């Protein structure tokens, strides 16, 4: 039986309780969202005692499911003000899954506001909170090393850590998760959840799974058969089996640039003349020249292998990736075309605990104010480091693009629900614009990745420059993504799932074989709808209205070169995306 571990920071108690029967089919995102909807008042102070921080492996976490080891982190977001799920790779989800923990809920606030704690969860499911006040202000890499020194040499463990940005309550702060080598370089980056972790006085979590085997399946033979079908689909599809393993996530740089949707210099152009210097192709070439490994998974069980390490000119590890979003945000959006500069910015974000998407967009907004020049990497790095000094500038930058744009009088601030847009301009790629506008998460490409049909011709084609079909495309993808997040799947499994019918069927077959119950397509998609319904209703209770499901006006008014496109999907179409919520809510008995 899966259990919940409840960690009360107010009285420092830890207890185990059974997962409620009504949530027996829940994991990952649907579970974090159900818990936050049920237990956190919508009007709660995101950094107050009433908010809760939930860590949940996917429903298939801890098993040998290909690409099924993602971690969901949920809370009321201090950035968006709504219900947030931030998703990360790394080893922690598998560790929690092997322990039989459906979720770890962190609640309350320490009586001593100056205290810093580490939660240690051992392989026998015992847990304790330890004072680690000496670690306050330490970056994620130093904390990872400090944790390693506390563990037995033969231990197998993962870490979840909070950098100084989160400790300081900065709204652009994220939470670091260790990868297979122990580097704290996988991130639940979006929505400021590092600040929530900081408000709880929690500096780190250690999850030991020493000696534990993968979670058993009800029908192992049936699971293995379905798993083989699924893994073959992942490795045979052109995107997940060829493009991503060869060039990493940054394979998209040249593709999106050519499509005219690669936001450049604070979304003022759709193409970046320096894209080659920060492309996946250049990244691969340089990594090989420096003696690095060009591919690995971000967690055990990954068969796509799209992760990368960046090595400096002396051949030493510098940072992860940089992934496509980070290379864009800290590169093209800031007018920077040198990957070594981008990697330095990426490392600094990772060590301080800052979301690279939000930070790149924020630096670009700051550059647009004229305070520093586009392309000035040294000034960008100095500004980034300012975030943890406590200065007025640092606070604005650390709180994200909107706070910075307002403070420094920038006309074009690319945010939805206070969260910065990722690496696709919604004017020439209108399906992703629908997702940005309507997602419960704030601007988030992973919430409904319309790049599939708009650009890559995966799962069909929808003309990216026209409004027709975009709302339906985004709706279907947002529901499907809710399901994938609940199961713990990497978003990139969507490529074969959309193109290869057997791949989607294999998910239902794997879940059926794992649980011993019958799952079909409808049951899977119901999970996605339920995750979105919890989030949508929470946001409504928090005061969100249709006006929040809109892009900033400049996307409708200012044409973007080279297509000179504007966003033309109507408000009525945007308002149709969540038309399934009333029926789903009624079925759940919530309102």
The residue-averaged pLDDT of 4-22 equals 98
Same domain, 389 and 266: yes
Same domain, 23 and 168: yes
User: What is the per-residue pLDDT across 21-45, written as a single tens digit (0 to 9) for each?
Assistant: 999 999 999 999 999 999 999 999 9
Same domain, 418 and 471: no
Per-residue pLDDT, 567: 98
Same domain, 310 and 455: no
Per-residue pLDDT, 489: 98
Q: pLDDT at residue 184 above 80?
A: yes
**236 within a domain of the structure (yes/no):** no
**222 within a domain of the structure (yes/no):** no
**332 within a domain of the structure (yes/no):** yes
Separation between Cα atoms, residue 569 and residue 32, nearest integer Å: 31
User: What is the per-residue pLDDT across 452-492, written as a single tens digit (0 to 9) for each?
Assistant: 999 999 999 999 999 999 999 999 999 999 999 999 999 99
**513 within a domain of the structure (yes/no):** no
Same domain, 198 and 257: no
Number of domains in the chain: 3
Angle between helices 339-352 and 280-289 in degrees, nearest 10: 90
Per-residue pLDDT, 291: 86
Show which of 424, 454, 486 is a domain's final residue. 424
CB 453, CB 431: distance < 8 Å: yes
User: Domain containing 297 — which CATH number?
Assistant: 1.10.569.10
Question: Mean pLDDT over all residues of the chain?
Answer: 97
Q: pLDDT at residue 2 above 90?
A: yes
User: In Å, what is the CA distance from 16 to each residue of 128, 159, 448?
Assistant: 12, 20, 35
User: In Å, what is the CA distance from 503 to each residue of 234, 302, 508, 514?
Assistant: 8, 16, 9, 16
Q: pLDDT at residue 294 above 80?
A: no
Would you give the distance in Å from CA 368 to the centre of its chain? 26
Strand, coil or helix: 30 = helix
Per-residue pLDDT, 292: 82
Separation between Cα atoms, residue 16 and residue 50, nearest integer Å: 20
Half-sphere exposure for 294 (CA within 13 Å, toward CB): 19
CB burial readout 236-267, b (16+ within 10 A) else e: ebebbbebbbebbbbbbbbbbbebbbbbbbbb
The DSSP line for 369-393 is TTSS-TT-HHHHHHHHHGGGTT-HH
Same domain, 340 and 405: yes
User: Domain containing 484 — which CATH number?
Assistant: 1.10.599.10
Q: In what helix (H) or strand (E) does residue 483 lie, and over which residues does it extend?
A: helix 470-487
Per-residue pLDDT, 313: 94
User: Domain containing 121 — which CATH number?
Assistant: 3.60.9.10
Show which of 180, 208, 236 is a domain's final residue. 208
Same domain, 263 and 401: yes
Per-residue pLDDT, 61: 97
**108 within a domain of the structure (yes/no):** yes
**237 within a domain of the structure (yes/no):** no
The residue-averaged pLDDT of 352-358 equals 98
User: What is the per-residue pLDDT across 297-335, written as a single tens digit (0 to 9) for each?
Assistant: 999 999 999 999 999 999 999 999 999 999 999 999 999
CB burial readout 569-590, b (16+ within 10 A) else e: beeebbeebbebbeebbeebee
Strand, coil or helix: 455 = coil
**570 within a domain of the structure (yes/no):** yes
Same domain, 291 and 147: no
Confidence of residue 3 (pLDDT cuts 50, 70, 90): very high
User: What is the per-residue pLDDT across 374-388, written as a single tens digit (0 to 9) for each?
Assistant: 999 999 999 999 999
**229 within a domain of the structure (yes/no):** no
Per-residue pLDDT, 228: 98
Show which of 357, 391, 424 is a domain's final residue. 424
- Strand 3-8 and strand 101-107: pairing? parallel
Per-residue pLDDT, 293: 78
Same domain, 420 and 557: no
User: What is the per-residue pLDDT across 384-410, written as a single tens digit (0 to 9) for each?
Assistant: 999 999 999 999 999 999 999 999 999
Strands annotated E in 328-462? 415-416, 419-420
Sign of CA dihedral 217, 218, 220, 223: negative
Q: Give percent above pLDDT 70 in the chain.
A: 100
Tell which residue, 59, 206, 20, 52, has the closest CA to residue 126: 206
User: What is the radius of gyration, based on Cα positions, of the chain?
Assistant: 22
Same domain, 415 and 281: yes
Separation between Cα atoms, residue 193 and residue 170, nearest integer Å: 9
Question: Which domain range does residue 285 map to?
Answer: 248-424
Confidence of residue 63 (pLDDT cuts 50, 70, 90): very high
Q: pLDDT at residue 84 above 80?
A: yes
Separation between Cα atoms, residue 18 and residue 490, nearest integer Å: 27
Same domain, 453 and 418: no
Tokens 């790049």 locate to 451
Confidence of residue 573 (pLDDT cuts 50, 70, 90): very high
Structure tokens, 170: 């900065």
Same domain, 385 and 439: no
pTM for the predicted model, two decimal places = 0.98
């Amino acid at each position: 039986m899966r259990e919940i571990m409840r960690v009360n920071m107010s009285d420092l108690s830890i207890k185990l309780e059974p997962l409620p029967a009504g949530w027996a089919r829940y994991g990952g995102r649907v579970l974090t969202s159900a818990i936050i909807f049920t237990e956190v008042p919508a009007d709660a102070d995101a950094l107050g005692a009433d908010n809760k921080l939930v860590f949940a492996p996917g429903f298939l976490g801890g098993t040998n499911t290909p690409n099924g080891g993602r971690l969901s982190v949920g809370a009321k977001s201090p950035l968006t003000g709504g219900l947030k799920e931030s998703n990360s790779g790394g080893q922690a989800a598998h560790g929690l899954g092997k322990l039989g923990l459906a979720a770890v809920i962190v609640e309350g606030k320490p009586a001593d506001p100056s205290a810093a704690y580490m939660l240690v969860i051992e392989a026998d499911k015992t847990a304790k909170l330890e004072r680690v006040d000496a670690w306050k202000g330490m970056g994620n890499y130093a904390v990872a090393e400090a944790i390693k020194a506390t563990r037995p040499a033969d231990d197998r463990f993962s870490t979840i850590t909070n950098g100084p940005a989160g400790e300081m309550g900065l709204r652009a702060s994220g939470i670091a998760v260790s990868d297979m080598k122990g580097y704290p370089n996988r991130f639940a980056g979006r929505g400021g959840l590092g600040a929530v972790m900081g408000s709880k006085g929690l500096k780190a979590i250690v999850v030991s799974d020493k000696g534990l085997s993968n979670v058993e399946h009800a029908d192992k033979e049936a699971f293995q058969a379905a798993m083989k079908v699924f893994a073959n689909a992942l490795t045979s599809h052109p995107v997940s089996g060829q493009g991503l393993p060869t060039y990493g996530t940054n394979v998209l740089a040249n593709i999106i640039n050519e499509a005219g949707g690669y936001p450049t210099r604070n979304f003022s152009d759709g193409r970046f003349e320096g894209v080659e210097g920060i492309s996946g192709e250049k990244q691969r070439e340089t990594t090989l020249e420096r003696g690095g490994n060009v591919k690995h998974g971000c967690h055990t069980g990954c068969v796509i292998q799209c992760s990368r390490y960046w090595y400096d000119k002396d051949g030493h590890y510098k940072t992860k990736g940089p992934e496509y979003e980070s290379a864009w945000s800290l590169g093209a959006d800031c007018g920077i075309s040198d990957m070594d500069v981008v990697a330095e910015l990426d490392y600094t974000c990772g060590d301080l605990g800052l979301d690279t998407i939000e930070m790149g967009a924020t630096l670009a907004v700051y550059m647009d104010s004229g305070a520093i020049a586009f392309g000035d990497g040294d000034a960008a790095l100095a500004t980034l480091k300012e975030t943890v000094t406590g200065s007025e500038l640092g606070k604005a930058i650390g709180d994200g693009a909107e706070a910075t744009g307002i403070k420094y009088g920038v006309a074009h601030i690319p945010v939805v629900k206070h969260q910065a847009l990722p690496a696709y301009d919604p004017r020439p790629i209108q399906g992703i614009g629908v997702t940005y506008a309507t997602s419960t998460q704030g601007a988030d490409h992973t919430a409904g990745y319309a790049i599939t049909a708009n650009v890559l011709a995966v799962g069909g084609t929808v003309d990216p420059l026209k409004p027709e079909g975009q709302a339906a495309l985004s709706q279907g993808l947002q529901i499907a993504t809710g399901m994938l997040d609940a199961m713990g799947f990497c978003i990139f499994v969507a490529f074969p799932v959309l193109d290869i019918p057997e791949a989607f069927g294999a998910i239902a077959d794997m879940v059926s074989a794992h649980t011993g119950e019958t799952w079909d397509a409808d049951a899977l998609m119901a999970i996605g709808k339920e995750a979105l319904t919890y989030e949508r209703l929470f946001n409504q209770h928090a005061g969100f209205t249709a006006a929040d499901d809109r892009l900033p006006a400049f996307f409708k008014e200012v044409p973007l070169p080279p297509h000179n496109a504007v966003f033309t999907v109507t408000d009525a179409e945007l308002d149709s995306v969540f038309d399934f919520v009333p029926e789903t809510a009624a079925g759940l008995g919530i309102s």
